[in-house]
Amino acid sequence: MDEKKITNVCLLAGKIMLQSGAETYRVEDTMIRIALAFGVKKAQSHATPTGILFSMGETEPTNFVRIVERSTDLHKVTQVNSVSRNISNGLVTLDDASQQLQNIESQVHAYPINLQIIAACLASGCFTIMFQGQWIDFFPAFIAGGIGYSAMVFLHQIVEIRFFAEFLASFLIGLVAFLFIYTGIGAELDKIIIGSVMPLVPGLLITNAVRDLMAGHLVSGLSKGAEAFLTAFAIGAGVAVIFLII
Amino acid sequence: MIIIQQLITSFFAASGFAVIFNAPKKALLQCGTVGMLGWFVYTICRMQAIDPVVATVAGSILVAILSQIFAKLFKTPIIIYNVSGIIPLVPGGMAYDAMRQFVVNDYNMAVQLAAKAFLISGAIALGLVFSEIINQVIRKIKWKNVQEKCEL
């Protein structure tokens, strides 16, 4: 019975971390540490972006958790990290840990959605300047980036397929940017679009993929790379539709 | 003047992404700072006409070192700082540009850009891993010193 609980806690911790965008090796490491703290010496864990395998020992039955949705949520990673540290130091019991992890899992984003959109706006505008754009393009990128990010968030709630939401969001970005140029408010279409797609672009995924590959997590690295490629393709295609229409 | 402008924008870009990534409120300023300094190194290197891949390695090494320092100081996992810190360096714009060229059938340009984006993301990963390795080596050497002293 106790073993089942330990397995549950390990899998839950791993699941939250993986869904929040932690690196694969960190997920595996955390699960093994938790198991070790509860006296399981030879626990085995194997994490990939789409699922986690965990067993209490080499010959024990293997347990499995499926991961469907992934995003980046640093707050959850931090909290799971501190729970696992407390477990390692023997500060919390098994039941407490399980309760705490369940609380963490049910948490929502710490910042209200408006604030996130404003942050995306600001980041878009700033990226336009960082890519050697002119200040005149700051405002168009600010608006286009905000519209793109909110469209992405909104559409993703309606449409289950991420690819489609990204495609439509970047299509909108291209449209808005084009309208700004057309009305003479913006100067360079390319700079505006590049700045505004930055909140959607999978830059972090690409980097994480290469890092996983270097760390020897070949399966995770390749699948993250594939995910990044698909996202970049969706965004590129969405904007390209605008270029085709013009 | 250009540098100040780059510093300010990269600070806001990095902390903006920290908000999107739901970083703890206390860490937002540090995230922005890490991103700003990484981008600062990159910009300076680019001004000296250094290759973008090398400049990215330099920037990401600094990002990794700073994140390690902040992680120690504020007792938080390192991932918070280095995820938001590398955001300005990440070749997202380039990946998008490559894809756009693919979609409009300019394959020569597209392959070039895609290869560059891949190399730059490799460079970021290299920088992050490199400073982690240095950190581990330092820790091991220190540990060895301690052990030797204890044995004496």
Q: What is the DSSP string of B44-68?
A: HHHHTT--HHHHHHHHHHHHHHHHH
Closest Cα in chain B, distance from residue A208 (Å): 7
Closest Cα in chain B, distance from residue A38 (Å): 22
What 8-state DSSP symbol labels residue A54?
E
Q: Which chain A residue has its CA at the smallest distance from B94's CA?
A: A194
Q: Which chain B residue has its CA at the smallest distance from A211's CA?
A: B125
pLDDT digits (tens, 9 = 90+) for B37-78: 999 999 999 889 889 899 999 999 999 999 888 888 888 888
Is a pLDDT exceeding 70 seen at residue B151? no
φ/ψ of residue A168, rounded to 5? -65, -40
**Which candidate, B90, B93, B70, B91, places its Cα nearest to that of B23?**
B70
Q: Which one of A104, A142, A149, A210 makes the best mutation probe of the B interface by having the most chain B beta carbons within 10 Å? A: A210
Q: Crossing angle, helix A94-105 and helix A74-88, to 10 degrees?
A: 180
Q: Supply the range of the domain harboring residue B75.
A: 2-151
Interface list for B 52-71 with A (CB within 8 A): none
Return the SS3 of A53: strand
Is a pLDDT exceeding 80 seen at residue B142? no
pLDDT digits (tens, 9 = 90+) for B76-129: 888 888 888 888 888 877 887 888 888 788 899 999 998 998 899 888 888 888
CA–CA distance, A190 with A5 (Å, rounded to integer):
54
- The predicted complex's ipTM stands at 0.84
Domains: count for chain B: 1
CA–CA distance, A162 with A68 (Å, rounded to integer):
11
In the numeric block, the tokens 């994140």 are attached to B67
**With bands split at pLDDT 50, 70 and 90, how would you rate the model's confidence at B150?**
low
Looking at residue B88, its pLDDT comes to: 87
Looking at residue A121, its pLDDT comes to: 92
Question: In a 10 Å sphere around its CB, with 0-12 CB exposed, 13-18 middle and 19+ buried, how is residue B59 labelled?
Answer: buried
Looking at residue B42, its pLDDT comes to: 92
A130: chain B residues, CB-CB within 8 Å: 6, 9-10, 13, 39, 88
CA–CA distance, A137 with A176 (Å, rounded to integer):
13
Of the partner residues B10, B84, B100, the one whose CB lies closest to the CB of residue A239: B100
Is a pLDDT exceeding 80 seen at residue B146? no
Looking at residue A172, its pLDDT comes to: 92
The answer to whether the CB atoms of B18 and A74 lie below 8 A apart is: yes
Q: Which one of B10, B79, B124 makes the best mutation probe of the A interface by having the most chain A beta carbons within 10 Å? A: B79
Question: What pTM does this model have?
Answer: 0.84
pLDDT digits (tens, 9 = 90+) for A155-194: 888 887 888 899 999 999 999 999 998 888 878 888 888 8
The contacts of residue A230 (CB under 8 Å, 6+ apart) are: A163
**With bands split at pLDDT 50, 70 and 90, how would you rate the model's confidence at B152?**
low
CA–CA distance, A238 with A139 (Å, rounded to integer):
22
Decide if B78 contacts B142 (C-beta within 8 A). Answer: no
Residues of chain A with pLDDT under 50: none
Decide if A180 contacts A140 (C-beta within 8 A). Answer: yes
Geometric angle at alpha carbon A37, from A31 and A42, rounded to 5°: 65
Top-confidence residue, B150 or A17: A17
